[in-house]
Amino acid sequence: AKNCGKNNAKLYSSSLTMQIMSHVKLEVGLRKALQNNELYLLYQPQIDVSSAQVVGVEALVRWRHPERGIISPTEFIPLAEETGLIVPIGEWVLRTACRQAMAWQAAGKQPVRVAVNLSAKQFKDENLTQIVLSTLHDTGLPAELLELELTEGTLMDDARATMVTLEQLRGIGVYLSIDDFGTGYSSMNYLKRFDVRALKIDKSFISGLPQDSENAAITRAIIAMAHGLKMAVVAEGVETGAQLLLLEQFGCDLAQGYYLGHPSPPESIDLMLGNQFTI
């Protein structure tokens, strides 16, 4: 039994070494990904539930790895956060998304807001406001067409610093929203004080609808609360017509999910703009 434990320890340490090595390899690759043009953005439509028009898109980053193929952001964004690479990557995402939204704007399409995910590290970066300002200036995108998505975790981390940064961003006129709402731990007290425009109900609440009566109750309550606070509500992860119908009955403002459109290259969004969805 003793021997066996030793072997296990050895096995464990060698697989740990391998894990660390592949982690380091991925990190080295990620450092080069930006300059090698391996990152790209997909855009997922956000539909106004009552008018059935595309009113916004969320930018979602992908990494085309030369050997491994397409890597999901759930794999490399945490690594980018750990290593600080999220700051230059995030800046690239912001710039690319704003440029794309401006291109849609210039092509005479209806105004479409572009939502960009901000990670906690980016939100804490003291240059954030300056980066947002200069990106809007350089691309010419009106501030109200840029939406920044923040998670509850990011906002609750340091409430005082959060207030200052939110105030600055609000001053610029960008649209702020709370992502994955309901999965974190925002206190209702802070929700009242954070001046954000919208809540995005996390897809874990939407996925069981319409059958799951508990999630239905939670979803309806979030919508009522948000409207009471004069915030808009976006439902994420809408995968069926029945879900959309229920959300419409609940008075949900916007919906996003595979039922309405997968994350897609800009050309596919071009085709959707100006087109009414049949829902």
Residues at the interface with ligand C2E (CB under 6 A): 44, 60-61, 72-74, 77, 90, 93, 117, 119, 179-180, 203, 237-239, 257-258, 263
154 is a site residue for Ca ion (CB under 5 A): no
Length of the chain: 279
Contact (Cβ atoms closer than 8 angstroms) between residue 233 and residue 198: yes
93 binds, among ligand C2E, Ca ion, none (CB under 5 to 8 A by kind): ligand C2E
Nearer to Ca ion by Cβ, of 35 and 74: the residue is 74
The Cα 167–Cα 169 span in angstroms is 6
Nearer to ligand C2E by Cβ, of 76 and 194: the residue is 76
Q: Binding segment for Ca ion among 28-36, 65-73, 109-117, 264-272 (CB under 5 A)?
A: 109-117
* Residue with nearest beta carbon to ligand C2E: 257
Cβ neighbours of 240 (radius 10 Å): 15
- For residue 200, the cross-strand partners are 234
47 binds, among Ca ion, ligand C2E, none (CB under 5 to 8 A by kind): none
56 binds, among Ca ion, ligand C2E, none (CB under 5 to 8 A by kind): none
The Cα 180–Cα 206 span in angstroms is 11
152 is a site residue for Ca ion (CB under 5 A): no
Residue 33 C-beta-side C-alpha neighbours within 13 Å: 32
Instruction: Copy the structure tokens of residue 60.
Output: 């979602």
72 binds, among Ca ion, ligand C2E, none (CB under 5 to 8 A by kind): ligand C2E
Mask 163-202, x = binds Ca ion (CB under 5 A)?
----------------xx----------------------
53 binds, among Ca ion, ligand C2E, none (CB under 5 to 8 A by kind): none
38 binds, among ligand C2E, Ca ion, none (CB under 5 to 8 A by kind): none
The Cα 138–Cα 99 span in angstroms is 9
| Pairing assessment for the beta strands 54-65 and 39-48 based on DSSP bridges | antiparallel
Contact (Cβ atoms closer than 8 angstroms) between residue 112 and residue 104: yes
Task: Pick the binder of Ca ion from 91, 125, 147, 149 (CB under 5 A).
Answer: 149
Contact (Cβ atoms closer than 8 angstroms) between residue 178 and residue 196: yes
The Cα 94–Cα 138 span in angstroms is 12
Q: Residue numbers of the site for Ca ion (CB under 5 A)?
A: 117, 149, 179-180, 236
